[in-house]
Structure 1
Amino acid sequence: MADSKKKIGTERIQNIVYGFKHSAILWAGIELSLFTKVSEGACTIQDIASACGLSPLNAERMVVACTALGLLEKKQGKYVNAADVEEYLVEGKPRYFGAWSLMGRADFSDWLNLCERLTSPQPPSVLGIYEKMGPEQHEMLTRAMFNVGLGAGHKLAKQFDFSNHKLVLDLGGGSGAYCVALCRRFPQLRAIVFDFPDVCRVTDELIADSGLSDRIKTNPGDFTRDRFLEGVDAIMLNGNLTQYGPDEVRVIARRAYQALPPGGVMHIIAENLNDDKTGPLIAATWSIHEALLGSKGRAHSDAEVTGYLEEAGFRDVAATEFVQNILQRVTGWK
């Protein structure tokens, strides 16, 4: 009789162990402009070797590895980019994601010491390393986030009607990309990006490049400590929720509620956990990332974020999927 017991292998564990190698393959492909060259027509190993300045041997190694990872596809003997690679990793395209992807290398060595960080007796601070970043680090992060945020901002503009709002305050708005997308969609809307001074200097440039300096302004400061500006009727906290612990989020929600007029709205877009806190993996990863950064932040569940807004006084609070398995949007009204 055949053994009906399911055999347990090591493939899943090996793939997790090799995860950093897979990241390195992706980063090398971006740095070599491999995906851009493929998009431009380099479709054989010989073509890719010539276009990327690789030996035929190393070109074959890279192409095979990228194909095994699903970054490239082989069709009728020729290589093409996978659909998401073509959309996000080809230089010059509006949604180019390469600069953001390469940022993962900046803290790579820290991840190798995760156990040490988790057992450190050093207590976390509210923002950890974010408070200590220099101008160059802020600039790199802010510029890298622009295209990513612009795509998300366009998505928000389609999901939510801002036509009845006049002034939106973007807490920790970074590059200002959400505000740019919203102001392009809603001509009556103005916006303020509330972020650190070193960030706002770069944000002002990005806003000017977008031709919206007359409608989008920056407010340098720390929104966890400094006064919220008056006159806003919509407030956003997008993409940075995991930097804060529950106590800090409650304070932010209360201050937002106090700053808004009746009929005002608050949106929180974040990598939220499901209510059982079993995933998604991206949210769980961002959560543990905060241990490396020394902050009090962690990932929050949809139920927790809904609770923070309701405790502050917001009504009709609802959580909806924003980007499948990545981002949730929680919205509440005053």
Structure 2
Amino acid sequence: MPVRPNVLERLALFRLDRAPSAMLDLLGAGSFRAVALAHDLGVFDALTEPHTPPALADRIDADPAALGDLLAVLAANGYVERDGEAFVRSDSTARWLTDDGEANLAPWFVFWRDVVFPFWDDHLETAVREGGPPLTIYEWLDDEPELWPTAQRGFRAAATLVVDPVADELDLPGGATTLLDLGGGHGLYAAELCERNPGLSATVFDNPAALDVAEAEARERGLTDRLTTRGGDYRTDDIGSGYDAVLLFNVLHGHDAAEVRALFERVHGALAPGGRIAVLDQFEGGGRMNVGRAAVALISLTYRATLGRGVHDADAVARWLRAAGFEGIERTGLRRDPGSELLQATRA
């Protein structure tokens, strides 16, 4: 959570420009790293009740004085609250950064710290000057395979925000029994749909190195008989056929227009007549308010820096679906994911 300037600070920083408001970005950058470290150390899981720094340090094996400094940063930014000499996690932290709440986004912070920003350090300037990096972040991860689980846990954490509303909106064909999740990596969406539809079986198709988290998801939910994984390149390898539904979630932004059209044609061929395609992604011009617009802009820059691609226009994607032989296109915005839309269509 960003530090919240009081009325006088907002006046000085924003209205009168008496101090550099850019300092808030520096404070935010420090707070971001503090949150990721707190997750690594188990701070938020431990602070279900108040602990003094020495007591917490003894519990998580840390230095009391240094831990006190970390807790002070977390308190200044609203992640923990003071209770006398002790600290306890805030309600917002419990809700959004632990497994006890609605969604645990802490692994998403870790993914940005350990994967995205190191990649930025090496390639962001090149991408801005030349239009893309010398290799994609996925190719980079293949050279750093120990980071693939970090990436997929991060993707899964982001998906926990929207998995319920997306699953609520998905319109599977009546009696659907087979689902293909292309580029599904962490497997959260496929697992959720299998749990909601007892007659459904799903295949998660992705880079072989990206599938450990999906396999763990299946084991933890007792779905190993209905949720399987398959490694390969969905652009060129056989993806099977006769599916009742295919998911393309957060896949399009990694491909240019020609590649997206070709992918839609592959999906059309893999679906049974009357089968459904569902596309979830961020799109150009998305985000109606300031935070949403800032999020879409940052994501678009990130895709450019890590993949050499940008977000697509949703109207263009709808046209490409129709050209590939899909009809009845439905579009749904997602409040919890500003700038994202869910597109669904039926194989004619």
Both proteins in one fold, TM over 0.5: yes
Does 2:80 align with 1:72?
Answer: yes
User: What percentage of residue pairs aligned between the two structures are identical?
Assistant: 24
String of CA shifts for 1:272-309, please: whole Å, max 9, x gaps.
3435998532222222123332x232123433433332
Within the candidate set 32, 57, 64, 1:23 is matched to 32
Distance 1:233 1:46 in 2: 57
The 2-side partners of 1:6 and 1:124 are apart by 39
1:32 aligned partner, one-letter code = L
| Residue 195 of structure 1: how far off its partner (Å) | 0.8
SS of the equivalent of 2:274 reads: coil
CA-CA distance at 1:227 after TM superposition: 3.1
TM (normalized to structure 2)?
0.79
CA shift in 2, pair 1:312/1:19, >3 Å: farther
User: How big is the shift at 1:223?
Assistant: 0.9
Q: 1:33 aligns with which of 29, 38, 42?
A: 42
Partner Cα separation in structure 2 for residue 304 and residue 21 of structure 1: 39
1:155, distance to aligned residue in structure 2 (A): 3.4
Partner of 1:140: 150
Counterpart for residue 219 of structure 1:
230
Q: Does the 8 A contact of 2:287 with 2:296 survive in 1?
A: no
Would you say the 8 A contact 1:153–1:179 is kept in 2? no
Letter in 2 for 1:104: W
Aligned residues: 327
Instruction: Report deviation, 1:253.
Output: 1.9
Contact residue 153 and residue 178 of structure 1 kept, 8 A: yes
Distance 2:106 2:42 in 1: 10
Long gaps (5+) in structure 2: 1-13
Q: Structure 1 residues 74 and 300, CA, compared in 2 at 3 Å: closer, same or farther?
A: farther
2:126 alignment counterpart: 117
Matched position secondary structure for 2:21: helix
**Pick from 82, 86, 99: which aligns with 2:90?**
82
Counterpart-to-counterpart distance in 2, 1:317 and 1:241: 17
Cα deviation for residue 178 of structure 1 reads: 1.1
> Per the alignment, in what secondary structure is the counterpart of residue 70 of structure 1?
coil
Q: If the length of structure 1 is used for normalisation, what is the TM-score?
A: 0.82
1:26, distance to aligned residue in structure 2 (A): 1.2
Give 1:216 shift: 1.7
What CA deviation, in whole Å up to 9, does each residue of 1:224-271 have, x standing for no partner? 222331111211111333222333222222322333233222111223
User: Which amino acid in 1 is paired with 2:199?
Assistant: Q
Q: Deviations over 1:141-188 (max 9, x none)?
A: 334544554564343322334362221111101022211111011011
Task: Give ranges in structure 1 of 5+ residues lacking alignment.
Answer: none
* Mapped pair 1:311 → 2:323: yes
Distance change in 2, residues 1:110/1:143 (3 Å)? closer
Shift in CA distance, 77/333, structure 1 to aligned 2, threshold 3 Å: farther
Does the 8 Å contact 2:180/2:245 carry over to 1?
A: yes
Q: 1:8 to 1:315 in 2, by over 3 A?
A: farther
